[in-house]
């Protein structure tokens, strides 16, 4: 009986466990104790990598004010799929404009993110639904947030994983050799949305994929 | 432009449009957004066959084509093919008519547009503002530039925000035979 109770408690614990626990992430210690004990010196760079200052850029992909980020986009939602061009432009320290147009140039939606404000400049009447706008706002906010405050740092033995808070949701930034390649939005300890960045050249992610795990929605971006 | 110059242009364009069976042309598209450092440039080919077959094919920097045929829009997005029935879609049907008319130059329908005429560097520029409120949600005005022969050399689609798409045609050829295969997806 006692073991059954413990198992149930354990199950309950895992069921309610946070994302890092469920993923088996370990707190990241950049200064392994055995190295300190051995009196070895640790390079300054590894010491500073554990926690980021609020201004430190941890997502560099849409942070260059001199660049026009233009992507061929494909949105597969439920059983339909449509394409267009997604244009992201940084206009100031915490100011972005995001516009989606058809290939022929007609604007489908046009959003402004400035500090904590979000403004819909334009959206096709057919798409003007609060639930859709909120979903796009959440996804794009993650793409453009260059330096969210890092709450904790973990490792899964392969990557450094930084826990952040974006629009009141926990997001985990995965770095391989200091390069950001994945962001996970977690809820109830599970992956809700995964953002993947690949083919990074000169600070530009040529391919970006946003995969929703709880609804059939995938956004694929290819730099042009 | 004077009233008689405008009438002469309309006549020349209509006569030209009536003789056109096919058109092929290269195009360069510039999408202007006021906040971007540079316009977004794309290039492709256009094919038209009277009365209403149109193919827009973007070649660079992405591969994408659309064919307007039998009230259907055939899309080939880098190998992913799809179709869109335009039967019940007034906006797309109208857009198709406008595209066809603008390629031929024959947009002069005063029931549908408020039309105004201008002269620029020897070319004629005509502004067409849609009267239909539903259409005006997408496009504020079309500006068509005609050369002295009455050919359309540039189309500008201006959105309500003031941002616009400019399409510049080059290497235009008329009445070279175009087979059905050209308009296959």
Per CB distance under 8 Å, which residues of A are interface residues toward B? 66, 68, 70, 72, 74, 81, 83, 85, 87, 89, 91, 97, 99, 101, 103-107, 110, 121-122, 124-125, 222, 224
Q: What pLDDT is stored for residue A136 in this prediction?
A: 94
Lowest mean pLDDT among A17-26, A42-51, B47-56, B131-140: A42-51
Contacts of A126 in chain B (CB under 8 A): none
pLDDT tens across A169-188, in order?
999 999 998 899 999 999 98
Q: What pLDDT is stored for residue A45 in this prediction?
A: 38
Lowest mean pLDDT among A46-50, A122-126, B136-140: A46-50
d(CA A113, CA A110): 10
Whether A105 sits inside 8 A of B77 (CB atoms) is no
A46 pLDDT above the threshold of 60: no
Share of chain A above pLDDT 70, in %: 80
Helical spans, DSSP H, in B20-153? 90-104, 133-136
pLDDT tens across A195-217, in order?
999 999 988 999 999 999 999 99
d(CA A88, CA A130): 21
Average pLDDT value for chain A? 83
Q: What is the CA radius of gyration of chain A?
A: 20
Contact B91, B84 (CB under 8 A): no
Q: What pLDDT is stored for residue A43 in this prediction?
A: 42
Give me the mean pLDDT over the A115-142 stretch: 92
Q: What pLDDT is stored for residue B62 in this prediction?
A: 94
Strands (E), A2-149: 26-27, 68-77, 80-92, 95-101, 107-114, 117-123
Whether A89 sits inside 8 A of B35 (CB atoms) is yes
pTM: 0.84
Whether A104 sits inside 8 A of B62 (CB atoms) is no
Nearest to B13 by CA among B145, B140, B128: B145
How far does B18 lie from chain A, in Å, by closest CA? 27
pLDDT band at A38 (very low <50, low <70, confident <90, very high): very low
Secondary structure class of B104 (helix, strand, coil): helix
Whether B159 sits inside 8 A of A107 (CB atoms) is yes
pLDDT band at A37 (very low <50, low <70, confident <90, very high): very low
Nearest to A60 by CA among A167, A171, A183, A151: A183
pLDDT band at A34 (very low <50, low <70, confident <90, very high): very low
Size of interface A-B (CB pairs under 8 A): 58
Which residue ranges of chain B lie beneath pLDDT 50? none
Whether B33 sits inside 8 A of A99 (CB atoms) is yes
Buried b (16+ CB within 10 A) or exposed e, A104-141: bbbbbbbbbbeeeebeeebbeeeeeeeeebebbbbbbb
């Amino acid at each position: 009986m006692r073991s059954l109770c413990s198992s149930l408690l354990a199950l309950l614990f895992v069921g309610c466990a946070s994302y890092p626990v469920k993923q088996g992430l370990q707190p990241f210690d950049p200064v392994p104790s055995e190295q300190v004990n051995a009196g070895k010196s640790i390079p300054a760079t590894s010491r500073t990598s554990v926690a980021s200052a609020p201004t430190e850029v941890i997502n560099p992909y849409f942070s260059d004010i001199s660049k026009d980020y233009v992507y061929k986009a494909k949105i597969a939602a439920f059983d339909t799929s449509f394409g267009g061009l997604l244009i992201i432009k940084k206009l100031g320290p915490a100011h972005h404009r995001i516009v989606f147009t058809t290939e022929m140039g007609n604007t489908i939606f046009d959003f402004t993110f400035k500090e904590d404000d979000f403004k819909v400049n334009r959206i096709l009447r057919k798409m003007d639904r609060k639930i859709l706008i909120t979903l796009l706002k959440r996804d794009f906010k993650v793409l453009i947030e260059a330096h969210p405050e890092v709450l904790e740092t973990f490792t899964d033995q392969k990557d450094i994983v930084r826990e952040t808070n974006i629009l009141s949701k926990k997001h985990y930034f995965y770095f391989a050799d200091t390069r950001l390649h994945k962001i996970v939005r977690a809820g109830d300890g599970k992956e809700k949305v995964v953002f993947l960045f690949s083919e990074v050249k000169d600070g530009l992610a040529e391919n970006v994929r946003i995969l929703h795990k709880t609804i059939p929605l995938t956004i694929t971006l290819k730099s042009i | 432009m004077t009233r008689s110059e405008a009438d002469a242009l309309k006549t020349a364009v209509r006569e030209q449009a009536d003789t056109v069976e096919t058109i092929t042309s290269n195009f360069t598209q510039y999408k202007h957004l006021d906040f971007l450092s540079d316009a977004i440039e794309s290039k492709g080919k256009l094919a038209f066959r009277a009365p209403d077959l149109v193919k827009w094919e973007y070649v660079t920097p992405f591969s994408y084509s659309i064919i307007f045929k039998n009230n259907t829009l055939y899309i080939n997005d880098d190998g992913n093919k799809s179709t869109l029935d335009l039967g019940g879609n007034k906006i797309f049907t109208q857009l198709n008519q406008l595209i066809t008319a603008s390629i031929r130059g024959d947009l002069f329908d005063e029931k549908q547009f408020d039309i105004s005429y201008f002269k620029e560097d020897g070319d004629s520029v005509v502004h067409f503002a849609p009267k239909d409120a539903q259409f005006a949600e997408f496009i504020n005005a079309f500006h068509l530039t005609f050369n002295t022969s009455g050919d359309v050399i540039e189309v500008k689609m201006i959105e309500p925000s003031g941002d616009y798409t400019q399409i510049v045609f080059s290497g235009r050829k008329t009445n070279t035979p175009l087979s059905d295969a050209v308009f296959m997806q």
